[in-house]
Amino acid sequence: LNDNPSHYKVTLSGTVKSPKISFDPPFLMLMPVPLDVKTETTIHIIPQDFLRKSQIQVELPELELEDSDRIYPFSVQFPEGKNIVISSDGTNKELICHISFRSSRPVSLLGNMFFIDEEGN
């Protein structure tokens, strides 16, 4: 460089990866059960491309009954925790999630559960 008019050109390239999660199984169908009997299943949450520790939160559907009562018949548990952890090889550890349903009132629904990270994604 010292008084040398040569120009240097640097080209950078990269790939942006957005964090995402996938599910195994990809959808959930619980079997009909008698009133006030719990039915449950286990799903695996597979996080991908999370670069830092994050925690999963779940928004469960609320049901409004004919008499205007509101119930939350679903519950969710993470037996090994709900933190997305990055392993030493840079991959994210799979999370186990138990989803259960119980209602003392007759209901039928088709709805969504939202699994979000700390940033609302």
Specify the pLDDT at position 107: 86
Rounded to whole angstroms, the maximal C-alpha distance in the chain is 86
Q: What is the pLDDT of residues 7-36, one digit of tens each?
A: 777 888 888 778 889 999 988 888 889 999
Q: Identify the band that residue 112 occupies on the pLDDT scale cut at 50, 70 and 90.
A: confident
pLDDT, tens digit, 9 for 90 and up, residues 62-84? 888 888 888 889 999 999 999 99
Quote the CA–CA distance of 111 and 115 in Å, as a whole number: 13
Mean pLDDT of the chain: 87
Beta pairing partners, 48: 20
